[in-house]
Amino acid sequence: MLVADDDPWSQQLISSQLVESGFRVDCAADGWEALILAGRARPDLIVMEVHLPTTDAWTLAEELRNQSRMAKVPFIFMADESPGLKPGKSFKPGVDQLLTKPFSLIDLNQAVEKALGDPARDAGYFGSTKIIVEVPSGPHNLARFATQVMPPPSESWEMEGLEPALRGSLVNFGLSSLLMVIELERMSGMVTLHGPIGTGRVAIRQGRVIRARIDGGQGNHGAHAIYEMLQWAKGTFEFEAGEIVGDDQIEMSTSFLLMEGARLADERAVSTKKS
């Protein structure tokens, strides 16, 4: 896969999701870098922001498809929705797709599956983003996992053996940036936020958020607590590294949580302006 996007946060979210789904991903921050990377190794799919530094995606797609080895590579183009938005001349209906921002990672998964066809889906790259049971690699009797009785969720937030690793101000380093770093490094531990409405806690295992809550709040737990804490612009954070026990009560990738949190924040901003 080749992901071309000059927004580092967007590039990281998209590439992380593709890597998590089993693909090898090259990333480019502008059009010419994407052209060089595609020349070194032919990608099976290119996910590209329409408005790139040095060139636009339509021109770049035309340039790439002039090369015989790249003629049949599908593109997923990304762009902010606007009244005048329409595909360029290099867009191939039935092969290429145009995703308007903001979109969810589920939308991205479906677009990739459509671009690659049935073999990608049959290979198990993209199913539901909600993981019910993670089956170990190798031959197994799937019926055994289907009938497995799962233990009740662990509500314990008292963890032993955690060591201070990071701390700072939310003004300079927000929760989204912190979670991206932790996901990238596949770290485990507990994030504690002291924010405007109380104390928030986020349990993370191997870079994946598994539990979250805001102390004292009614219903402020799970993914909803993450969406709330992502909006905290003031306060402090602490990250203690160490082994985290208990069940995954969120069952979403950290990248998906961040993308969904950004989408909800955009909806909230639009609703506030209208009111």
Q: Is the dihedral of CA 197, 201, 206, 209 positive or negative?
A: negative
Q: Domain range spanning residue 211?
A: 163-270
94 and 7 within one domain: yes
The SS3 call for residue 4 is: strand
Q: In terms of C-beta density within 10 A (0-12 exposed, 13-18 middle, 19 or more buried), how is residue 46 classed?
A: buried
Q: How many helices (H) and strands (E) does the chain have?
A: 9, 10
pTM of the model: 0.48
Tell me the pLDDT band of 154, cut-offs 50, 70 and 90: very low
pLDDT at 200: 93
Residue 193 lies in a domain: yes
CATH number at residue 104: 3.40.50.2300
Kindly report whether the peptide bond that precedes residue 136 is cis, defined as omega within 30 degrees of 0.
no
For residues 12 and 111, state if they share a domain.
yes
Mean pLDDT of the chain: 78
Q: What is the pLDDT of residues 170-220, one digit of tens each?
A: 988 889 888 888 887 788 999 999 988 889 999 999 888 999 999 865 558
Instruction: Classify residue 109: in a domain, yes or no.
Output: yes
Residue 147 inside a domain? The answer is no
Task: Taking the CA atoms of 146, 148, 152 and 154 in sequence, report the sign of the dihedral they define.
Answer: negative
Domain contains 150: no
Q: Answer for the pair 196, 208: CB distance below 8 angstroms, yes or no.
A: no
Give how many domains the chain has, as a whole number.
2
Question: Domain boundary at 67, 90, 122, which?
Answer: 122
pLDDT digits (tens, 9 = 90+) for 66-78: 888 889 999 999 9
Q: Which two tokens stand for residue 192?
A: 């504690």
Between the CA atoms of 14, 18, 23 and 27, what dihedral angle is there, to the nearest 10 degrees? 10
Tokens 């497995």, located at residue: 148
Q: Write down the pLDDT at residue 194.
A: 93
CB atoms near residue 94 (< 10 Å): 6
